Amino acid sequence: MEIRADIFIIIIGGMIVTLLPRVLPLLVLSRITLPEWGQRWLQFIPISIMAALITQSLFMANSLDLKVWIAALIALGVAGFTRSLLGTVVVGMFVIMCLRYFY
Amino acid sequence: MSKVYLQTNAIGAKISFLQGVKDCIPTVLGYFSIGIAAGVVQKTAGFTILEITLISLLLYAGSAQFIVAGMYTAGASISAIIFTIFLVNLRHLLMSAALSSYFRHLPFWKNVLIGSQLTDESFAVASNELSNKSKVNEYWMFGLNFTAYINWCLANVVGGILGDWIPQPEKFGLDFALPAMFIGLFVLQILSRRKFSLDTLVTISSVVVAIGASYFFSDSTSVMIATIIAATIGMWIEKWR
């Protein structure tokens, strides 16, 4: 059990380049007041980034996998009706597992 | 008098922290699954358990860890790997900026702590919590972040140990846990904001741009381009109608 030198450099280097974008805006923007349009723009970031991340994980990664589409639609329905995050994840995983097992 | 005040303050902080822990629970399963998958992939790429522990503790970024494993196996150079991590994690700029207005009253070190544990998941949960508030207790955020952090590192290690037995995590639907979780968080966000038609338009813009951009750019760059353009469209329409 050891840590190789090249892996160690990758981890430390990766940590630094990840830490900067994580921390700097919080530090800098909390010192200044953004104009009204800037604040409004930032309020649309959560919804936009989540939509883009879902698109990435569903369509870009496994381009045209019908099983993933079906499971995603069912997960969307479960989330809308139950408003339960845990329920959505459990049902989604169960559906994709069944689809892959039977088809 | 001041002692009583300090005490009630400490109790308030504790309650908020525990509420943050509680609000993280629904995401625990989703991230644990993907953490196991990350552990398995890293193990399969030849990482030792100690290396897996260190990377999940220090890098603490799901997609980047998958990419490191993949690139390392493919024999990429150290600088290429670090630069790719940088690009993949650049989207944190946007999330960190979006959170900043809620934590502007905090001292330096608390903002550093919140930022250093920022993930897609904690950001999404926090956005839901914040969408109806102007401020959030920082101890709530600490509770949320801390739970997510422990969960992620633990899952990576478990995945690394299981790595020899389950080389194909997707067989158990583990790879779908993350998209399913984001679908859930996304729906909750839409429902809590009550700006349904505008949000639908922003969503469609984001999806279309993300897919379009992916033909020319890497996936992570496409996510950023889509986020920036869709948020700008939302801002403009809200202003001009």
Task: Please write the tens of the pLDDT for every residue from B127-153.
Answer: 988 877 777 899 999 999 999 999 999
The residue extents of the domains of chain A are 1-32
- State the CB neighbour count (10 A cutoff) for residue B155: 21
Find the CB nearest A52 among B60, B171, B206: B206
Query: What distance in Å separates residue A100's CA from the closest CA in chain B?
Result: 7
CB contact under 8 A, B104 and A17: no
Query: Is the residue at B188 inside a domain?
Result: no
Residue B23 binned pLDDT confidence (cut-offs 50, 70, 90): very high
CB contact under 8 A, B186 and A18: no
* Whether B138 and B240 share a structural domain: no
Range of B211's domain?
195-241
* Whether B164 and B118 share a structural domain: yes
Buried-exposed string B221-234: b where 16+ CB fall within 10 A, e elsewhere: bbbbbbbbbbbbbb
Range with the lowest mean pLDDT among B100-109, B142-151, B186-195, B201-210?
A: B186-195
Q: What pLDDT does B1 receive? A: 47
Query: What distance in Å separates residue B4's CA from the closest CA in chain A?
Result: 31
* Whether B10 and B69 share a structural domain: yes
Amino acid in position B70:
G
Share the mean pLDDT of chain B: 88
Buried-exposed string A68-82: b where 16+ CB fall within 10 A, e elsewhere: beebbebbbebbeee
* Whether B170 and B64 share a structural domain: yes
Task: Say if residue B154 is exposed, middle or buried (CB neighbours under 10 Å; 0-12, 13-18, 19+).
Answer: middle
**Residue after which a domain boundary falls, among B149, B176, B203:** B176
Buried-exposed string B7-39: b where 16+ CB fall within 10 A, e elsewhere: eeeeeebeebbebbbebbebbbbbbbbbbbbbb
Q: Give the tens place of pLDDT for each residue, B47-96.
A: 999 999 999 999 999 888 988 988 898 888 899 899 889 988 988 999 99
Query: What distance in Å separates residue B1's CA from the closest CA in chain A?
Result: 32
Does the CB of B216 have a partner CB in chain A at under 8 Å? no
Query: Is the residue at B16 inside a domain?
Result: yes
Name every chain A residue with its beta carbon within 8 A of the beta carbon of B197: none
What is the number of domains present in chain B?
Answer: 2
Q: Pick from B126, B128, B148: which is nearest to B61 by CA?
A: B148
* Whether B215 and B166 share a structural domain: no
Does the CB of B234 have a partner CB in chain A at under 8 Å? yes
* Whether B235 and B156 share a structural domain: no
Does the CB of B66 have a partner CB in chain A at under 8 Å? no
**Residue after which a domain boundary falls, among B148, B176, B204:** B176
Interface test with B, best of A44, A67, A96, A97 (most B CBs within 10 A): A44
Query: What distance in Å separates residue A31's CA from the closest CA in chain B?
Result: 7
Find the CB nearest B219 among A56, A84, A88: A56
In this prediction, the residues of chain A whose per-residue pLDDT falls under 50 are none
